[in-house]
Homo-oligomer: A and B are copies of this chain.
Amino acid sequence: MSADNDNADAQAKLIDLAAEFYDQFAGGQIPEMSIPTRTKSNIEYDEDSNVWVYGDRKSTRSANSVRGARKLLKAVYTIDFLTNQLEEDRSSTLRELYYLSESWDADEAQFSTQDESNQLIEDLEIVSEVTREDFHMRPEESGAKVMGPLLLREQTNRGDREIHCQDDVGQGGYQIPNNPDTIEFLDNDADFVLCVETGGMRDRLVENGFDEEYNTIIVHLGGQPARATRRLTKRLHEELDLPVTVFTDGDPWSYRIYGSVAYGSIKSAHLSDYLATPEAKFIGIQPKDIVEYDLPTDPLSDSDKNALESELEDPRYQTDYWEEQIELQLDIEKKSEQQALASHGLDFVTDTYLPERLSDMGII
């Protein structure tokens, strides 16, 4: 679909929302907008799409109070801004939207905090079923970078660019744009995708030529991955039919990084279809690797333990695999970083650890 059509589609959905308020007014009703409740207790597993989505609990923003009426006024101004932005094929950030509201003619429509404008965009995303990227709201956080046997075409605002993610990039790789749906995959010679948490490990794999030897697309996550990174990973899986593995440190915070790739986050469960890769597999560091590979460790802190306990109660981690690993970790009271594999030498990760794990997982 061309950018023009995408824009028109997003515009139409936004205008539908505004039209709904109008119809409510016209029909003598108090305008309102109903939105799923975004809490851990209101997410449920969708058997069809294999992702976690919101349940049936809703909250309502209604104009029956001054506060509620103001919220809807802000929504209408924002819809107006977004439809103009799409008309002009431009984009902006959440933070710019917040500041820009100062230039709006109705003082009551101005946002008083950035949380308020962020939340409104999230509401609009959920209700209109248009993603923020399709509103042309750019994230503040950049996507990370890619190295591997993949030829793509990116549609930039200065023309199309064809880029091979090994031959046409420096050691730093290909920088994922804010909206990876501007990318078209042209050709690839890849067997699987390896998402990597830390820059140091990403650089190790690239230096050791792991992407070349194993036909791997290495995606750097850079900690908690940006939406752009998660979206690109999902597209690599779906469109190119590539298995996805996630390689992180062995601690509860890193399991959440895996979770955000595989399951999506609670705050963005409405986007799970767009962002989550439920088939993504965790390749480590697993608590049992700490034992089996005798890795250097640090003791679990109290907050580590609490995070692990909370994961045990999270429906997304209630599988035999995760329960076993998390209980083992609470038992040994240790955590380990992915770079701790260097205690067996700098090549251990590419010569031994990853090949063993990939072979166990049936990927190579």
Contact = CB atoms under 8 A, between A and B. Distances in A.
Interface of A: 90-93, 95-96, 99-100, 102-103, 138-143, 145, 154, 156-158, 161, 163, 166-178, 182-183, 198-200, 203-204, 207, 209, 212, 220, 222, 296, 337, 339-346
A172 B161 contact: no
Given A163-B170, A204-B93, A99 B140 contact: no
A343 B104 CA distance: 9
Contacts of A167: 161
Contact of A342 (B96, B174, B198, B199): B96
14 contacts: A90-B207, A91-B207, A93-B200, A96-B339, A99-B339, A99-B342, A99-B343, A100-B342, A103-B345, A138-B200, A142-B199, A145-B175, A161-B168, A175-B175
Contacts of A143: 172
A96 B204 contact: yes
A175 B173 contact: yes
Interface class of chain A by DSSP: mixed
B161 A169 contact: yes
What is the oligomeric copy number? Answer: 2
Ranked nearest first, the 9 interchain pairs of A and B with the lowest CB-CB distance are A172-B175, A93-B200, A102-B343, A154-B170, A96-B342, A99-B342, A171-B177, A156-B171, A95-B339
B204 A342 contact: no
Contacts of A93: 200, 203-204, 339
A173 B178 CA distance: 11
